[in-house]
Structure 1
Amino acid sequence: MGTVIKDMSLSAFVAGFVAVLIGFSSSVAIVFQAARAAGADSSLIVSWIMALGLGMGATCFFLSLWYKSPVITAWSTPGAALLATSLDNISYAEAIGVFVFAGLLTVITGISGLFDKVMRLVPLQLACAMLAGVLFKFGLSIFDSMMSDVLLVSTMLLTYLVSKQVIPRYSILLVLVVGVVMVLGRSDESLMSGIPFELGRFLWVWPEWNLGALVGIGVPLYIVTMTSQNIPGVAVMRSSGYNTPVSPLISWTGVTSVLLAPLGGFAFNLAAITAAICSGNECHKDPKRRYIAGLSAGIFYWLAGLAGTSVVALFSIFPSTMISALAGIALLGTIGMNLKSAIADDENREAALITFLVTVSGVSFLEIASAFWGILFGAICLLISKIKR
């Protein structure tokens, strides 16, 4: 406990809060869609949010504390999007069975160590290129949002550029404060009055097993989560210099999914976008003290889960332009660092460039996300160049 207190810093604590704010606000609507597709009513949807908050909070806090590195987890946003279009023809209990099955597959993957071995074969340049491609659209979102709200986004960006030169450790905090003040300042007084301040409650539903759903939905949910979330998540840690063993992390996210699936915790995985916020220089100059951001994220995820609908309603106050701009600004340093690392080596530059371009393109073959194909295409390019040499 004394070590944690000694390592505590405001910038890392704020990084954890920003990660939760962006994580919830950017994709909670997709989770709602997935829950409704599964047949969940309003009470069950609250249970979903509480289970997801509890699961992410526990894994973020305890894994970060144990490994002393910023281990940030998240729900599977691509998985939620898949579920939103795939659960119409099965019962809610059968949907729970799908979640449990996908979680078990993740546990097996983690225990076997296969995922860790595969990721260690990927050169750092390709991992950085893939991560830069995943994050690239968030950088562009700053200027897309600026077209919709010039004053808000321009002020946030200007705040970042100035504060980065003066007090770089607190630049993201200042951007957040400026954004919140501007949003509240131009809103009417009744903005906060519509938020219900109440605690939700968990609802447990036992799983039922439908072989067709397990194969047709469970396997794709597992594949999407591994390729779209866990591969970029590992790339974030590797590019930031953390050699945290991957297999236990994958195993624990799978165990969490299995345990919380009956409450609505459909899929947990390593985060990429929010992890990048918590593992960069803006979080803290000392990499050994950035794990505080993981503890902070865990605490705020717990609070978000306990508050249920209240927190979701609170997050909905902030316009999408502010959230998009905040995410993009917070990730600018990470995007630049990974682009630099990807193309610094002449020998692997072309393979890294192909990885980056394929990932940015968003191509999806066999319903597998572009992050996977970026790594694959880059690896093929690298292999061909090595055979020639």
Structure 2
Amino acid sequence: MLRDFSAQALFMGLLTAFVGFASSFAVVLHGLTGVGASEAQAASGLMALSISMGVCAVVLSAWTRLPVSIAWSTPGAALLASSGAVEGGFAAAVGGFLVCAALIVVAGLWKPLGRMVAAIPATLANAMLAGVLLGLCFAPVKAIGFEPLFGLPIVAAWVVVGAINRLYAVPAAVLAFALVLAFGIDVPDGAFAALAHGLLPKPELVAPVFNLAGLVSIALPLFIVTMASQNIPGIAVLKVNHYNPVPGPLFAVTGIFSLLSAPFGGHAVNLAAITAAMCAGEDAHPDPRRRYWAAINAGIFYLIFGLLAGAVTGFVSLAPPILIQAVAGLALISALAASATNAFKEPETREAAALTFLTTASGVSFGGISGAFWGLVAGGLMMGLNRLLATRRARKV
């Protein structure tokens, strides 16, 4: 393995970890606090996810000799933000995280469940994801309305840098957020000293609570979103770059690391989709057999970033919540555009997708169960009814 190491893979690993962490940590923090986590629990969750991602990437890449990039479930974090607190509080959310992780392990080891997930219509899965993301993507505009001097620099940095290189758009917005916070917001005396004192995060072990609300509102939608939006596309990225991984074991291992991070507040880790292309492409190394080191290096840097989670969370807490929501919304705009395009591209399923999208985006809960689940149910029933009527019409003809 040491003979395969290269400076090019080291640099790409650092870039991958930086982009992966900086572009979506705001979504994770917003999602965890959205389901009732305290600031300390959110910092613990961010740390647990980063460490799990790092170790999982090192283990899988070294084991398979493939550039297996690992990420936290960004769409899953967005789902948490839109779901809101469930009955039982954050403990019930953690119970949902554990059930979701167990389902991922089973999906990797037991083929029938994996086939059931793959059988969920892609249009409905994308419509549900688009509905989940819509509310968060309003946040940048709301931030400008809240205080133009704070919101505009963040959005402007994202627009200008994104026009040059989309990969660095969200990190640029994060940097603008940090500058706004450092120079534009009146920070209480001693706040930065307190941050330095609490640089290393403290793990917060949460005793899980298992109830129906956590299962239906968090575990099942989180499982579907993570598999459909992260794990399956992650395999596709590897295949596009001429690798031929066996999906099941990879899914199962990410589920195991999700199980390990859940008691400390982490919602889910999975195969990366966007950053996977960075480690699997030619920029990581001209020789495809040596690119796995880029994913290993990314995992090592994720570990380092995880140890800074306490400082990151404390720094973010000094700003008005709408500003961190704005950064999270900017990070999800590309995902919203892609999911909406895929949801509505097929004319015959467009109305069912629209029903799923609107039900999910409404944010309305029925019986204590979030709109994401009901959106998928409503769209599935409408799609089934349309297919039944189409079959009957075809028989009459």
TM-score by length of 1: 0.71
Tell me which amino acid in the other structure corresponds to 1:364.
S
The aligned counterpart of 1:159 is 157
Give, in whole Å, the separation in 1 of the partners of 2:292 and 2:365. Answer: 34
Name stretches of at least 5 consecutive residues in structure 2 with no aligned partner.
Answer: 240-244, 285-290, 391-397
The aligned counterpart of 1:233 is 226
The aligned counterpart of 2:183 is 185
The aligned counterpart of 1:210 is none
Give, in whole Å, the separation in 1 of the partners of 2:163 and 2:43. Answer: 43
Give, in whole Å, the separation in 2 of the partners of 1:239 and 1:259. Answer: 23
Q: How does 1:13-162 map to 2 (within 5 A)?
A: 13-19=17-23, 21-27=25-31, 29=33, 51=48, 53-59=50-56, 62=59, 68=67, 70-73=69-72, 78=80, 81-82=85-86, 85=89, 107-108=105-106, 110-162=108-160
Q: 1:319-370 deviations in whole A, cap 9, x for unaligned?
A: 4222111111122222112212221221221121112112112233454432
Q: Is the 8 A contact 1:359 1:373 kept in 2?
A: yes
Q: CA deviation at 1:270?
A: 4.6
Q: CA deviation at 1:54?
A: 3.0
Name stretches of at least 5 consecutive residues in structure 1 with no aligned partner.
Answer: 37-41, 89-94, 208-212
Q: CA deviation at 1:291?
A: 9.9
Give, in whole Å, the separation in 1 of the partners of 2:323 and 2:292. Answer: 26
Q: CA deviation at 1:139?
A: 0.9
Give, in whole Å, the separation in 2 of the partners of 1:371 and 1:161. Answer: 30
Go from structure 1 to structure 2 and tell me whether the alpha carbon gap of 1:148 and 1:69 turns closer, same or farther (over 3 Å shift): farther
Give, in whole Å, the separation in 2 of the partners of 1:345 and 1:46. Answer: 41
Tell me which amino acid in the other structure corresponds to 2:143.
S
Partner SS, residue 192 of structure 1: helix
Go from structure 1 to structure 2 and tell me whether the alpha carbon gap of 1:278 and 1:359 turns closer, same or farther (over 3 Å shift): farther
Q: CA deviation at 1:8?
A: 1.7
Q: Is the 8 A contact 1:19 1:277 kept in 2?
A: no
Give, in whole Å, the separation in 2 of the partners of 1:134 and 1:318. Answer: 24
Tell me which amino acid in the other structure corresponds to 2:361.
V
Moved more, 351-360 or 104-113: 104-113
Go from structure 1 to structure 2 and tell me whether the alpha carbon gap of 1:234 and 1:176 turns closer, same or farther (over 3 Å shift): same
Give, in whole Å, the separation in 1 of the partners of 2:124 and 2:348. Answer: 12
Q: 1:294-314 deviations in whole A, cap 9, x for unaligned?
A: 878755653354356444323
Q: CA RMSD in A?
A: 4.7
Q: CA deviation at 1:145?
A: 2.1
Q: CA deviation at 1:45?
A: 9.5
Q: CA deviation at 1:166?
A: 3.0
Give, in whole Å, the separation in 2 of the partners of 1:306 and 1:150. Answer: 33
Partner SS, residue 8 of structure 1: helix
Tell me which amino acid in the other structure corresponds to 2:72.
T
Partner SS, residue 264 of structure 2: coil
Tell me which amino acid in the other structure corresponds to 1:235.
A
Moved more, 159-168 or 69-78: 69-78
Q: CA deviation at 1:172?
A: 2.2
Q: Is the 8 A contact 1:53 1:302 kept in 2?
A: yes
Q: CA deviation at 1:184?
A: 0.9
Tell me which amino acid in the other structure corresponds to 2:264.
G
Q: CA deviation at 1:384?
A: 1.7
Q: Is the 8 A contact 1:164 1:171 kept in 2?
A: yes
Q: Is the 8 A contact 2:255 2:270 kept in 1?
A: no
Tell me which amino acid in the other structure corresponds to 2:52.
G
Q: CA deviation at 1:135?
A: 1.0
Q: CA deviation at 1:140?
A: 1.0
The aligned counterpart of 2:264 is 265
The aligned counterpart of 2:394 is none
Q: How does 1:325-344 map to 2 (within 5 A)?
A: 325-344=326-345
Go from structure 1 to structure 2 and tell me whether the alpha carbon gap of 1:224 and 1:164 turns closer, same or farther (over 3 Å shift): same
Matched, 1:256 2:254: no
Partner SS, residue 330 of structure 1: helix
Tell me which amino acid in the other structure corresponds to 2:51.
L
Q: Is the 8 A contact 2:28 2:46 kept in 1?
A: no
Go from structure 1 to structure 2 and tell me whether the alpha carbon gap of 1:339 and 1:268 turns closer, same or farther (over 3 Å shift): closer
Tell me which amino acid in the other structure corresponds to 1:21.
F
Q: CA deviation at 1:171?
A: 2.3
Number of corresponding residues: 362
Go from structure 1 to structure 2 and tell me whether the alpha carbon gap of 1:49 and 1:143 turns closer, same or farther (over 3 Å shift): closer
Matched, 1:349 2:350: yes
Partner SS, residue 72 of structure 1: strand
Partner SS, residue 134 of structure 1: helix
Give, in whole Å, the separation in 2 of the partners of 1:183 and 1:198. Answer: 18
Q: CA deviation at 1:136?
A: 0.9
Q: 1:221-275 deviations in whole A, cap 9, x for unaligned?
A: 45444323221122323568558877545533543355566xx435642579xx7
Q: Is the 8 A contact 2:51 2:306 kept in 1?
A: yes
Give, in whole Å, the separation in 2 of the partners of 1:345 and 1:104. Answer: 33
The aligned counterpart of 1:382 is 383
